[in-house]
Structure 1
Amino acid sequence: MSTPNAHYGFAERWLPRLVLAPSFLLTLVFLYGFIAWNGYLSFTNSRLLPNYEWAGLVQYATLFENERWWVAVRNLGVFAVLFIGGAMAIGITLAILLDQKVRGEGAIRTLYLYPMALSFVVTGTAWKWMLNPGLGLEKLMHDWGFTSFTFDWLVNSDMSIYTVVIAGLWQSSGFVMALFLAGLRGVDDSIIKAAQIDGATLPRIYWKIILPALRPVVFSTLMILSHIAIKSFDLVMALTGGGPGFSSDLPATFMYSMAFTRGQTGLGAASAMMMLATVAAIVVPYLYSELRKDHHG
Structure 2
Amino acid sequence: MTTQSAPRQAHPRPHGSSRLAAIADAWLPRLVLGPTVLASLVFVYGFIFLTGYLSLTDSRLMPNFTFTGFGQYTTLFEIDRWWVAAANLGIFGGLFIAFCLAIGLGMAVLLDQKIRAEGALRAIYLYPMALSFIVTGTAWKWILNPGLGLEKLVHDWGFPNFTFDWLVNSDLSIYTVVIAGVWQSSGFVMALFLAGLRGVDDSIIKAAMVDGASLPTIYLRIVIPALRPVFFSVLLVLAHIAIKSFDLVMALTAGGPGTSSDVPAIFMYQFSFSRGQLGLGAASAMMMLATVLAVLVPLMYMETKGARHAR
TM-score range, shorter chain: over 0.9
Residue 19 of structure 1, CA deviation: 2.2
Aligned to 1:37: 50
Aligned to 1:101: 114
Paired amino acid for 2:42: V
Task: For 1:14 and 1:187, locate their aligned partners in 2 and report how far apart those are by CA, in whole Å.
Answer: 39
Residue 214 of structure 1, CA deviation: 0.9
Deviation per residue, 1:48-94 (Å, 9 max, x gap): 11111111110000111110110011111111111000000001111
> What's the secondary structure of 1:214's corresponding residue?
helix
Query: Which of residues 15, 18, 21 in structure 1 aligns to 2:34?
Result: 21
Task: For 2:203 and 2:24, locate their aligned partners in 1 and report how far apart those are by CA, in whole Å.
Answer: 50
Aligned to 2:249: 236
1:50 aligns with 2:66: no
Task: For 1:195 and 1:23, locate their aligned partners in 2 and report how far apart those are by CA, in whole Å.
Answer: 48
Aligned to 1:152: 165
Residue 201 of structure 1, CA deviation: 2.0
> What's the secondary structure of 2:171's corresponding residue?
coil
1:266 aligns with 2:279: yes
Change (3 A) 1:12 1:191: closer
Task: For 2:303 and 2:159, locate their aligned partners in 1 and report how far apart those are by CA, in whole Å.
Answer: 55
Query: Which of residues 274, 277, 281 in structure 1 aligns to 2:290?
Result: 277
Query: Which of residues 198, 204, 219 in structure 2 aligns to 1:191?
Result: 204
1:70 aligns with 2:83: yes
Paired amino acid for 1:49: M
Residue 3 of structure 1, CA deviation: 2.1
Change (3 A) 1:4 1:200: closer
Task: For 1:123 and 1:21, locate their aligned partners in 2 and report how far apart those are by CA, in whole Å.
Answer: 37
Residue 11 of structure 1, CA deviation: 2.1
Task: For 1:170 and 1:287, locate their aligned partners in 2 and report how far apart those are by CA, in whole Å.
Answer: 27
Paired amino acid for 2:129: M
Task: For 1:190 and 1:30, locate their aligned partners in 2 and report how far apart those are by CA, in whole Å.
Answer: 48
- C-alpha RMSD over aligned residues: 1.6
Matches within 5 A, 1:110-129: 110-129=123-142
Q: Percent identity?
A: 69
Paired amino acid for 1:178: A
- For structure 1, the residue ranges without an aligned partner over 5 or more in a row are none
Residue 172 of structure 1, CA deviation: 0.6
Task: For 2:226 and 2:306, locate their aligned partners in 1 and report how far apart those are by CA, in whole Å.
Answer: 16
Residue 213 of structure 1, CA deviation: 1.0
Residue 295 of structure 1, CA deviation: 7.4
- For structure 2, the residue ranges without an aligned partner over 5 or more in a row are 1-14
Task: For 1:76 and 1:293, locate their aligned partners in 2 and report how far apart those are by CA, in whole Å.
Answer: 29
Aligned to 2:240: 227
Matches within 5 A, 1:201-216: 201-216=214-229
Change (3 A) 1:208 1:262: same
Task: For 2:272 and 2:88, locate their aligned partners in 1 and report how far apart those are by CA, in whole Å.
Answer: 20
Aligned to 1:12: 25
Task: For 2:305 and 2:186, locate their aligned partners in 1 and report how far apart those are by CA, in whole Å.
Answer: 31
Aligned to 1:248: 261
> What's the secondary structure of 1:3's corresponding residue?
helix
Count of aligned pairs between the two proteins: 296
Deviation per residue, 1:188-218 (Å, 9 max, x gap): 2232233233332211221111101111111
Aligned to 2:8: none
Paired amino acid for 2:36: S
Task: For 2:203 and 2:40, locate their aligned partners in 1 and report how far apart those are by CA, in whole Å.
Answer: 47
Aligned to 2:183: 170
Paired amino acid for 1:212: P
Paired amino acid for 2:261: S
1:135 aligns with 2:135: no
Task: For 2:69 and 2:83, locate their aligned partners in 1 and report how far apart those are by CA, in whole Å.
Answer: 21
Task: For 1:272 and 1:116, locate their aligned partners in 2 and report how far apart those are by CA, in whole Å.
Answer: 26
Provide the TM-score with structure 1 as the length reference.
0.95
Change (3 A) 1:190 1:269: same
Choose 3-12 or 111-120, whichever is displaced more.
3-12
Query: Which of residues 188, 191, 194 in structure 2 aligns to 1:181?
Result: 194
Task: For 2:27 and 2:50, locate their aligned partners in 1 and report how far apart those are by CA, in whole Å.
Answer: 32
Task: For 2:254 and 2:164, locate their aligned partners in 1 and report how far apart those are by CA, in whole Å.
Answer: 19
Residue 243 of structure 1, CA deviation: 0.5
Deviation per residue, 1:236-273 (Å, 9 max, x gap): 01100010111101111111111111111111100100
